[in-house]
Structure 1
Amino acid sequence: MFPGASPVDESADAPFDDADYVAVGAPLDVSTSFRPGARFGPDRIRKFARTFEDFHPATGTHFSELNVTDHGDVHAWHDTAEYLEYLEGVLTDVHWADAVPVLLGGEHTVSVAGVRAADPDVFVALDAHLDLREELGGDELSHSTVTRHALDVADEAVVVGARSGNEAEWERATESDVTVVEPGDAADWTPDFDGSVYLSVDIDAADPAYAPGTGTPEPFGLDSATMRDHVRALAPQSVGFDVVEVNDRDDGQAATLAAKLVREFVHAHADA
């Protein structure tokens, strides 16, 4: 259970109707291409949120009063396409209840289900990688294809903190529907969008000094305060949120940052 949230009443006819935010764990860990362990992400995010104060001084709100419920995890299996379809159904039910899904990954591929359920105008990812590949190792649903899949739904994509991609990805990123905000420019970048946003936080957007527990760490990344500022700025117009790619390969640094960003999202969204 995410600390400060209440459990979903699975016996109710409309289990999400009393919620404004629904945490959903998605421990998919199929296509991880370097260090596995993203399957442990949802549990670690919940665990390392336990030490946080309920009160949020920036908004004057208490997390436990913001009608957050925790659905628990959607158990993952190895048929990724089938799993994403099922996960999309769960997240669609959350949207139909006029609540905001807060997805806890799991590898970044789970964001595909989140975007399909939310149908946003803009996909924004804080991410070290462009994720614009058509496939990786023959897998068209690899974690490195997420931005490309998001563009099947959203009109445009913005990748903040990107510093890695192959030549074809960087060439794709020059097209008009993709914007790349490199790490050196991220602190000064001000989001300015019309329409709805789906906000995805791949924890590897952070420099490994802040979040070493992730599958494909990349140096020269974002600091944690810059990530917080962007989550706060984008939350008010976001119709879905996720934090992904946390694994168990550190002492909790990545999970602590992820958990704090979840709370920042909820507080900022509710305050707006």
Structure 2
Amino acid sequence: MFPGATTDREAASYVVVGAPLDATTTFQPGTRFGPDRIRRFSESYDDYHRATDSRFTDLGVHDAGDVHPWDDVRDYLDHLAAELRSAVLDGAVPVAMGGEHTVTCAGVEAVEPDALVVVDAHLDLRESYGGNPWNHACIARRALEVVDHAHVIGARTGSPEEWDRAEAADVTVVPPEEAGEWARSLSEREPFDGKSVYLSVDVDAADPAYAPGTGTMEPFGLDAREMREVVRAVAPHTEGFDVVEVNDRDDGQAAALAGKLLREFVHAHAASR
């Protein structure tokens, strides 16, 4: 159980679901261990949150356990989407823990938002990777089949074709050096114009110095405070959330960051209500 997620399912405002998918990782595998590591390395966090004067255990969080994957990724994503959609239908916010980034496709399908905000080192705008359109390198491209706009925060690498796709009107790329200011000015700019948002945090958006336990590390990334700023700023607009791409190849840094960002999302979202 995610620490502090003690509310019964029927009364929950937030439903945490582990999605330990590890099928299309392209460099360092291990995301199958992500949900368990996020739970484990979140055990030391205090219940009280000073910024919102709230306690995590008072915010109605339930941990529904893991939805274990099988060989057919597309079929698994359909099933995961149904599990997440059940939370939406009950009036709760689905909160997924990955698992590789492909699980975001299920979150977007479940929530059906107007916009995607994804915090990521990579553009993830490939039509397919290795001939597979359901690869973790394609999630923003797949999401754009559902949402009207994708905001990619912290992106610093991609193929020439991805950068070309990013020039389209339905994509906004915010480079790492501008992410903090983007978050701080969000309330003034109102970029979502009242539209619903799904927020996905790929832990590889962080510089590897902060989160080495991820599949595809990319230097020159965000620091932990900048990621927190983005999560806090976007959370009030959000109807679904995930944190993904944590693996077991560090001493817990990536999992600790992911767990803290999950808690920051819940605190900020609950405060906005």
TM-score relative to the length of structure 1: 0.96
For residues 64 and 78 of structure 1, the distance between their equivalents in structure 2, rounded to whole angstroms, comes to 36
Confirm or deny that 1:100 pairs with 2:60.
no
AA in 1 matched with 2:92: A
For residues 21 and 7 of structure 1, the distance between their equivalents in structure 2, rounded to whole angstroms, comes to 9
- Assess if the C-alpha contact under 8 Å between 1:124 and 1:199 holds in 2: yes
Alignment correspondent of 2:209: 209
Shift of 1:7: 6.7
Alignment correspondent of 1:117: 110
Q: Secondary structure at the match of 1:6?
A: coil
Confirm or deny that 1:225 pairs with 2:225.
yes
- Assess if the C-alpha contact under 8 Å between 2:7 and 2:60 holds in 1: no
- Assess if the C-alpha contact under 8 Å between 1:7 and 1:71 holds in 2: no
Identity of aligned residues (%): 60
- Assess if the C-alpha contact under 8 Å between 1:22 and 1:100 holds in 2: yes
Alignment correspondent of 2:37: 44
Alignment correspondent of 1:197: 197
Alignment correspondent of 1:239: 239
AA in 1 matched with 2:222: L
Higher helix share: 2
Shift of 1:38: 0.4
- Runs (5+) with no aligned partner, structure 2: none
| Aligned residue among 63, 74, 87 for 2:67 | 74
Q: Secondary structure at the match of 1:188?
A: helix
Shift of 1:17: 3.0
For residues 204 and 239 of structure 1, the distance between their equivalents in structure 2, rounded to whole angstroms, comes to 23
Which moves more between the two structures, 56-65 or 183-192?
183-192
Change (3 A) 1:7 1:139: farther
Shift of 1:107: 0.1
- Assess if the C-alpha contact under 8 Å between 1:31 and 1:143 holds in 2: yes
RMSD value over aligned CA atoms? 0.8
- Assess if the C-alpha contact under 8 Å between 1:17 and 1:98 holds in 2: no
Deviations along 1:151-198, one digit per CA (max 9) or x if unpaired, are 111100000000110000000000000000001111111333121110
| Aligned residue among 116, 132, 148 for 1:139 | 132
Q: Secondary structure at the match of 2:34?
A: helix
